[in-house]
Structure 1
């Protein structure tokens, strides 16, 4: 399975900060926002990643990640010239996807919890159809929303509804079989002028090939696309790391524990940072203290 991170868009909800910097490069406590999305793919065991961003922001991401070899990853890049919708990622990434299945992660999403790795690895085993998740939120109007019948069977998916039919929002992580490219090409722009990911999921639902898994209280999902959400996520990460001493979305640690890089390679990454808390943490990880 291959992975795609969508880090495009204009980030208007975080203006004026996003006038000069990509939304997904804004720090969430001590790391760029996109680290959290990237860590999601790494925890899923996905090593080939396509990062889609704007032409203006492309050099910054290339400087941040390079070709990914320092993490034992293979990273390539693609430009989305205009914000034409999340589902366009599969059209832009058609050659990258090839004959494989694919996991799409939005660059402003954060997942955390003991069950996340198991959840993600289940998603990578999908052979046919699509797998998405539902997460209970107080106000789902800004998300894709899942509608259920009286037997808890999914009957519709609606993008940013004014009158949501449930409180179950769809987090920005999706697993698809190779049919997703064909489905994406068949989409028509919505009233917003975008190729909606909810319309794509609706096609899988109509074909009887959509699986929906509801996330329980053991998993936290945070959307960092607004100022309030960014503040909440920063406080959340700070609290967890301060209390446990363990870092979230530490890409070097994940790469080491997944076997993508050796201890020697981890130490090489840590040494230039040894005067920082981040570098000292990497040295501790290399000593297998966690």
Structure 2
């Protein structure tokens, strides 16, 4: 079964006003590229190329303008609308026909993950198709998030708790979830919360109750940002600026990622390069990617 991918790029972005008054947060710049390039690159790095982008009625056309059908990048992109912000779990219901009988990875469009060891992701592939996987990371203050209590000896999730006043651990579930076939049907059984939303923590709780939930805890060295606030958007931009300036290598550069993974050939890569100005910083970087690939052949 080929794994599908969904990026939920909806929401009102109210915490980022006035930046989000005319454009959604997933299209805001995060250093030198739109925010959505980061979760999209994460899916590609997980060998997922059949991807559904879900956004608001006013923003979905902008994503289509940005990426088209994805063919230029060797991807298969499709689009769907979430009419109102009715919760993360609703994305799986909206994408039910897209998912079909395949497993699916859901990532939030404002969650930015930087971790270069992709063996971590491949190791989490479900050997049992009935199991789900969540990803967790250690944070200083877990209270604003979904807290994961994990038994390291038994290697199992003990509890999930949304925004607890007294957290049982410092590990939180980030916006990256992998589900087995049938998840859309299970999501339909989730009752709306007091906010009127289908909470992803409630859906994950159903897998936990059935002893079908795995957790991958990201190690030290992994960086994760929820860029739904002004301060975290700035932190993330500064982080990636420092990484790219120090290393001379770009993060979440879709042209480079898809070229290096063999999703596009040199001719397609050069076509993408032609879309940038001759002296643009991004275009010059793509020139260096080609030179380096020639040197290592």
Range into which the TM-score falls when normalised by the shorter chain: over 0.9
Task: Find the partner of 1:245 among 244, 248, 254.
Answer: 248
Q: For structure 1, list consecutive stretches of 5 or more residues without a partner in the other structure.
A: none
What residue in structure 1 maps to residue 121 of structure 2?
Answer: 120
* 1:123/1:175 contact within 8 Å kept: no
Taking the aligned partners of 1:150 and 1:99, their CA distance within structure 2 comes to 32
Task: Return the alpha-carbon distance in structure 2 between the equivalents of residues 151 and 42 of structure 1.
Answer: 32
1:64-90 deviation line (CA, Å, top 9, x unaligned): 011000000010000000100000011
Work out which of the residue numbers 28, 31, 48 in structure 2 matches 1:29.
Answer: 31
Q: Which moved more, 1:91-100 or 1:144-153?
A: 144-153
The offset of 1:136, in angstroms, is 0.6
CA contact (8 A) 1:114 1:218 kept: no
Check if 1:192 corresponds to 2:195: yes
* 1:151 to partner: Cα distance: 5.2
Q: For 1:132 and 1:82, how far apart are their aligned partners in 2?
A: 25
Matched, 1:133 2:174: no
Cα-Cα RMSD: 1.5
Distance 1:150 1:220, change over 3 A: closer
CA–CA distance in structure 2, aligned partners of residues 57 and 159 of structure 1: 29
Q: Is the 8 A contact 1:44 1:124 kept in 2?
A: no
1:281 and 2:263 aligned: no
Please state how far the C-alpha of 1:122 moved relative to its aligned partner: 3.0
**Deviation of residue 258 (structure 1)?**
1.0
Q: Which residue is 1:254 aligned to?
A: 257
> What's the secondary structure of 1:282's corresponding residue?
helix
Structure 1 residues 227-236 or 268-277, which shifts more?
268-277
- How far residue 36 of structure 1 moved from its aligned partner, in angstroms, is 0.2
TM-superposed deviation, 1:58: 1.0
* Alpha-carbon distance in structure 2 between the residues aligned to 1:44 and 1:150: 25
CA distance in structure 1 between the partners assigned to 2:57 and 2:116 by the alignment: 37
Relative to structure 1, the CA distance from residue 101 to residue 220 in structure 2 (aligned partners, 3 Å threshold; closer, same or farther) is same
Please give the alpha-carbon distance, in whole angstroms, between the structure 2 residues aligned to 1:265 and 1:206: 47
The size of the alignment, in residue pairs, is 289
CA distance in 2: counterparts of 1:148 and 1:256, whole angstroms: 38
Where in structure 2 are there 5+ consecutive unaligned residues? Answer: none
With structure 1 as the length reference, what TM-score do the two structures score? 0.95
Find the partner of 1:163 among 166, 187, 194: 166
